């Protein structure tokens, strides 16, 4: 046989190169094996997770009509309750007036007052006569003081200015308790001199000139309706000129006594 390799030892560089080459080849092979293992492991893990992951897409259930499934009972809803009608707020109890017994004092609600003039038109200088009428309009006989101390006549201007009262210059403490049968009237007459007056009768008093005025009768707090009347200028006094004042003071207005039987 032909021997080609020398029998003497090789230089150290040759051995070092061979070792480096063997180490490099081994390292390269190891890297390739590791890379292949990683790829295979990754593919196997992804496939398993995809295969084992449950589907999250829910299939919509078919809508069933009420009563289609005998196992499922449709609940019966009770009828809607109607809201109760509002309870009316009870009004305050109306307290009836006390029952009036025969002989009791007459309350204002059972009496009516009115004034009457003896004529609708006068001339300055006349002395009008006024009648004050109190009537029992109730159903039971009762009593009431209708004396001069509580029953009065008043004269007002159209501007509601008080001009005269029979009690201004002739005050009275007279009491006259009258028993009224149902429908019975009591009348009292007073005379007006045509002079103005005020409470406590301050002087001098001035005559009331021509114009339209109202008579009002009052019993306590009970007032009558107004009764209009007129005062005209005397024929011998030009229109717009005040009549002369009387030289003598007029007598005080004293209520005339009630007619007998009233």
Task: Give the domain ranges of the chain.
Answer: 108-232
- Domain 108-232 top-level CATH class: mainly beta
Helix (H) or strand (E) holding 215: strand 211-219
Q: In whole angstroms, what is the distance from residue 183 CA to residue 107 CA?
A: 15
Tens-digit pLDDT profile for residues 135-161: 999 999 999 999 999 999 999 999 999
pLDDT at 90: 59
Tell me phi and psi for residue 44, to 5 degrees: -70, -40
> Is pLDDT above 80 for 198?
yes
| Residue 12: CA count within 13 A, CB half-sphere | 0
DSSP 8-state assignment for residue 36: H
pTM of the model: 0.55
């Amino acid at each position: 046989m032909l021997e080609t390799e020398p029998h003497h030892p090789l230089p150290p560089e040759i051995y070092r190169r061979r070792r480096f080459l063997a180490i490099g080849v081994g390292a390269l092979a190891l890297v390739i094996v590791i890379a292949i293992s990683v790829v295979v492991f990754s593919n196997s893990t992804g496939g398993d997770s995809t295969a084992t992951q449950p589907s999250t897409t829910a299939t919509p259930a078919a809508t069933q009509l009420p009563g289609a499934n005998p196992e499922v009972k449709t609940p019966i809803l009770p009828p809607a309750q109607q809201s109760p009608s509002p309870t009316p707020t009870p009004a305050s109890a109306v307290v009836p007036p006390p029952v009036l017994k025969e002989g009791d004092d007459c309350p204002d609600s059972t009496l009516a007052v009115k004034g009457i003039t003896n004529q609708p038109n006068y001339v300055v200088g006349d002395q009008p006569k006024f009648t004050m009428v109190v009537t029992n309009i109730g159903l039971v006989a009762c009593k009431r003081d209708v004396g001069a101390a509580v029953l009065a006549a008043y004269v007002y201007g159209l501007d509601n200015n008080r001009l005269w009262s029979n009690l201004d210059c002739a005050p009275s403490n007279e009491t006259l308790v009258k028993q009224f049968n149902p429908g019975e009237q009591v009348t009292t007459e007073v005379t007006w001199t045509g002079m103005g007056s005020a409470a406590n009768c301050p002087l001098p008093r001035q005559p009331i000139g021509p114009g339209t005025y109202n008579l009002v009768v009052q019993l306590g707090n009970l007032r009558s309706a107004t009764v209009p009347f007129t005062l005209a200028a005397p024929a011998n006094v030009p229109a717009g000129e005040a009549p002369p004042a009387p030289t003598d003071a007029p007598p005080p207005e004293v209520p005339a006594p009630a007619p007998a039987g009233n």
